[in-house]
Amino acid sequence: MKIIDSTLQPQIDSTLDVARVRADFPILELQVEGKPLVYLDNAASSQMPQPVIDRLVRYQTRQHANINRGVHYLSETATAEYEAARCKLQRFINAREDREVIFTSGTTDSINLVMHGYGRKFIGAGDEIILTTLEHHSNIVPWQMLAEEKGARIRVVPINDAGELLIDDYEKLFNERTKFVGVMHVSNALGTINPVREMIAFAHARGVPVLVDGAQAAPHMKVDVQELDCDFYAFSGHKMCGPTGIGILYGKAELLERMQPFKGGGDMILSVTFERTTYNSIPHKFEAGTPPIAAAIGLGAAVDYLSNVGINAIAAYEIELLNYATEQILQIPGVRIIGTAAKKTAVLSFEVAGVHPHDVGTLLNQEGVAVRTGHHCVQPVMLRLKVPATTRASFAFYNTMAEVDTFIAGIRTVQKIFI
């Protein structure tokens, strides 16, 4: 079964030097249970290359200070580096202006910012919010909280057995009460690539803004927010070779300017009296308190690194890994792939007949193979596909075909022990 997305075919770049790339990741030299680490949990968190580690060390040893308003050398240096990182993120996603990039603690924080800043101001009683069955809990729960508070209603786009959105049903959900759409770009559990550009165009034709959860897309494919024409786009640094505790929210400037701040204090303020507070301009209006300065600079280094490797080369190589792993796993009797969409990124969820996913993961760990097991924070997907949990292997551009072979051999070992 081939899962190559035909839209990626013209971009395939065989120049990606995997051996050279792997030399940048010191953690890949680790041994687990006396065996070489095979790290296939990249959808949860990817590993950090030496240039990003070095950048963090340089900041902490040579540049650290609090940013904004400081007149001394270190504060001015840290401020300049922090804002330079924002510009790198702007270029990475092709935002129109750097003030459209807000640093947050990650995708969840970004979605909560939109819910509080936009949703609480513009969504009211009787209004409807469209989500999809595929959504991560972090793009469900905030909107449930808003719906309960405002008396709004959530409507859900169904999926088919392959894990693809039923777009005809999506279009039928729209009516005069529809006020917002939230959709993930790529499914973290199944790897499905959703047709977000078409979904956004359909929503915009009806005056409805769209937030895209890009946590599983930004590390693996070219994201151009102007081409997508999304209103909001969120992703996390730790899934794209950067530090934890950092992410961004992209928002169209005209929308961000109309929104209420999510948190108060620090540099989000221009002036304060006990009678009234005047807020700062965007993006600072949404960056209360001392931000994660080192992490933001580290994320800037991470997008530099990904850009130098080549995001199209990364996408193409990861599809090759997925296709090879899919072909190999389909040769194992008793193993079923969960999620067989026509367009996927390099995520392979599966179940081994007669073996609980946690046991599969535990035994794979004894072979040095790191995978994720459980519901992957998408319990509605598990309910729809009638599986309590899956084992998930998620690949990155530093993985190899030989590691796929180790992973496949590990599954056969699991079967020998349990069946």
Gyration radius from the chain CA atoms: 22
Contact yes or no for 25/48 (Cβ under 8 A): yes
Distances (CA, A) of 148 to 96, 107, 116, 153, 263: 35, 22, 13, 8, 21
Catalytic residue among 87, 230, 241, 377: 377
Contact yes or no for 255/283 (Cβ under 8 A): no
* Residue from 79, 102, 78 nearest 89 by CA: 102
- Count other Cβ atoms within 10 Å, centred on residue 58: 14
What number of H helices and E strands is found in the chain? 15, 17
Domain ranges of the chain: 18-42+310-418, 52-308
- Count other Cβ atoms within 10 Å, centred on residue 176: 9
Contact yes or no for 88/300 (Cβ under 8 A): yes
Q: Is 377 known to be catalytic?
A: yes
- Alpha-carbon distance 410 to 234, whole Å? 35
Contact yes or no for 93/218 (Cβ under 8 A): yes
**What torsion do the CA atoms of 184, 247, 217, 198 make, to the nearest 10 degrees?**
50
CATH of domain 18-42+310-418: 3.90.1150.10
pLDDT given at position 10? 39
Q: How many whole angstroms from its chain centre is CA 50?
A: 22
Q: How many whole angstroms from its chain centre is CA 387?
A: 23
- Alpha-carbon distance 123 to 337, whole Å? 39
- Alpha-carbon distance 279 to 282, whole Å? 9
Distances (CA, A) of 170 to 19, 78, 81, 242: 43, 46, 43, 34
Q: Going by DSSP bridges, is the β-strand pair 232-236/210-213 parallel, antiparallel, or unpaired?
A: parallel
Kindly give the interhelix angle for 293-309 and 73-93, rounded to the nearest 10 degrees: 40
Q: Tokens in use for 65?
A: 């200070």
pLDDT given at position 3? 45
Task: Provide the H-helix boundaries in 115-215.
Answer: 120-122, 141-150, 167-172, 196-204
Task: For 69-98, give one letter per residue: b (16+ CB within 10 A) or e.
Answer: eeeeeebebbbebbbebbebbbebbebeeb
Strand partners, 32: 35
- Alpha-carbon distance 73 to 75, whole Å? 6
Per-residue pLDDT of the chain in tens (419 residues, 90 and over written 9): 444 443 444 344 557 999 999 999 999 999 999 999 999 999 999 999 999 999 999 999 999 999 998 999 999 999 999 999 999 999 999 999 999 999 999 999 999 999 999 999 999 999 999 999 999 999 999 999 999 999 999 999 999 999 999 999 999 999 999 999 999 999 999 999 999 999 999 999 999 999 999 999 999 999 999 999 999 999 999 999 999 999 999 999 999 999 999 899 988 999 999 999 999 999 999 999 999 999 999 999 999 999 999 999 999 999 999 999 999 999 999 999 999 999 999 999 999 999 999 999 999 999 999 999 999 999 999 999 999 999 999 999 999 999 999 999 999 999 999 87
Which class in CATH covers the domain with range 52-308? alpha beta
Contact yes or no for 330/237 (Cβ under 8 A): no
pLDDT given at position 14? 54
